[in-house]
Each structure stands twice: as structure tokens, then as C-alpha cells.
Amino acid sequence: MLRLFIALEMDTLLHAGIEALANDIKRLGLHASWVPVHNMHLTLKFLGDTDEKFVEPVKRIIDECAHVTAPFEISLQDAGVFPDFRRPRVLWLGCSDSSGSTSKLHGFLESKLSHLGFPLENRHFSPHLTLARIKSPKNKEDLRRFLAEKQGDLLIGKSRIEGITLFKSDLSQAGAIYATLYNVRMKNE
């Protein structure tokens, strides 16, 4: 079994801005597990533990998805928590695109992958990068104030999205280790 997910990768030129934001928030003293910036991605579909016999069919679906999608631009802006500030579990950086391509990709993958037996996501799709996983409510009010002050003014930058990646994730004591299994460029221009 392979632990798999399908994602969009951000331009590495944005890493410094993401790291600066994370460092500002780290100063608040949250009890959190921080995602290394080189591991950040926008997950379109988490497949979970997957039998290897599904890798090729998943690649074909990714090819089909890339064939009907033109490259597009995503803005990394705003930040918040899931599910809410009463029980914050995930600190996120928002991703938005005026073309709606991210949501269309998600919907396409959800539909096609359900035919292979992958369950449909029962939560609303909210494009984001995970900055940290929050382990306790320690200093959550400081975080709420910090994010409220930044609301509307937080723009890390824009990333051109030109491909879709199938990742394998191996869990270790040091955290998740991601490896690219497959990457395909978008072709519909």
C-alpha cells in the first residue's frame, strides 16, 4: 500500500514570504507542529492508503485532468484556522484563483476517482496550504488577534500553476516525507 495524494505545487520564489509569515506566527508561542516550507502544497485530493494496482489508473485520470486544464495563477493570501477558533486544529494560508480552476480540478478529480472506488470528500473544498497543525489551544487568542490585524492585507504573492503532481507520503518520526511519483504539465492553452 502507498499513501498517496494529488496536489498543486507552488513556485519556490514564494518560499521566503511563506517562511516570514510562519516565523511571525511562531513568535506567538503556539503549541503546533510546523510544516516545512519545502513540503507545502495545495492538496486537490487525498487518496490515503492505496493499492499499487491503482497507481496507473490514477495517473491516467491526472493526465485527463491536465489535458483539459490551462495553466493558471493562484494568489496566496489571507490566513485562518480549521475548523474554527473555538477548536483550532490547522493553521492555513489561503489560495485563490479568479479562474476557478482549482475548484474545477478538485471536482474533476473527485468525480473521476470515485469511479475507482475512492470516496467523495464530505467537506467543502477550501484551497489552502497547511502552515501548521495546532496541538493545543495555547495562545489561540494571540493568534486570533494577529490574523485579524492581517485580514485583507495579507498577500504573499502569486504562483503560476502549470502541472499536477501525484505524491507518495511516508510518515516518519521526523514528519512526513513526500516523493513525487508522477507529474504532468497542463496542456489546454
Number of residues that make up the chain: 189
Catalytic (active site) residue 128: yes
For 136, phi then psi, to 5°, come to -155, 165
Spatial distance between the Cα atoms of 171 and 168, rounded to a whole number of angstroms: 10
State the catalytic residue, choosing from 31, 38, 106, 128.
Answer: 128
What strands, in cross-sheet order, belong to the sheet with 155-161? 32-34, 128-134, 90-96, 72-82, 155-161
State the catalytic residue, choosing from 38, 41, 67, 106.
Answer: 41
Spatial distance between the Cα atoms of 89 and 98, rounded to a whole number of angstroms: 28
Q: Which residues pair with 46 in a beta bridge?
A: 5
Spatial distance between the Cα atoms of 28 and 47, rounded to a whole number of angstroms: 34
Catalytic residues: 41, 128
